[in-house]
Chain A
Amino acid sequence: AQKVTQAQTEISVVEKEDVTLDCVYETRDTTYYLFWYKQPPSGELVFLIRRNSFDEQNEISGRYSWNFQKSTSSFNFTITASQVVDSAVYFCALSLDNNAGNMLTFGGGTRLMVKP
């Protein structure tokens, strides 16, 4: 069975600090997909990124960057120069390449608080 672990339950930083959210996953499958979602206080989960297991290239999107390392089964997320609007719960998720539908296994989430 697959599993996603986000060891950091809460992180508090001051605005403009850089912050990294950790995600470690477990699966025996060779083909899988990893996702990050942001859930602000309003409740809606906002899709941030999808990565497939064959693409280990790191990605940067503005202040956001992702580091995918299969050797350590990690898919970490870094926010550079954090802002108050980044305050939210962030979920890492995993899905397998099968026909059972798009079933996401979520990590427990990391609550990020960015203080002015």
Chain B
Amino acid sequence: DTEVTQTPKHLVMGMTNKKSLKCEQHMGHRAMYWYKQKAKKPPELMFVYSYEKLSINESVPSRFSPECPNSSLLNLHLHALQPEDSALYLCASSLKAGTSYEQYFGPGTRLTVT
């Protein structure tokens, strides 16, 4: 089963709110990723976790805070976001963080910041 789940599917939040996005996989994958995708653009990598440790942070603003509580779960905590942060946030996982492993993506959370 190549399934990555994400909740919520849609989220509307104000600039002063705190919210969290959740991602889960039960494929035994040890690498998990957060991507941001704006309309009509390809996904942009934000964070990579390998064996529950943050291995890559693509210079993402601190208002985005990732967390990997265990090998199956990945969270993205949001605080004091800006309207330009409105986008589709995609989670992905792969067997390991090596380049030969394909990534499996979740359906995404469509975030609107008002």
Interface, chain A (partner B; CB < 8 A):
32-33, 35, 37, 42-47, 50, 52, 91, 95-104, 106-109
Contact = CB atoms under 8 A, between A and B. Distances in A.
Contact of A98 (B48, B88, B92, B99): B99
Interface of B: 2, 31, 33, 40-43, 45, 48, 50, 55-56, 88, 90, 92, 94, 96-108, 110
A54 B84 CA distance: 41
Contacts of A107: 42
B42 to A, nearest CB: 4
Nearest to B48: A101
B42 A96 contact: no
A43 B92 CA distance: 13
Given A43-B110, A44-B105, A47-B103, A100 B43 contact: no
Nearest to B42: A106
B103 A91 contact: no
A47 to B, nearest CB: 5
Contacts of A104: 43, 45, 103
B107 A109 contact: no
Contacts of B99: 32-33, 95-98, 102-103
Contacts of B92: 45
Contacts of B33: 102
A43 B102 contact: no
Given A95-B99, A96-B99, A101 B55 contact: yes
B43 A102 contact: no
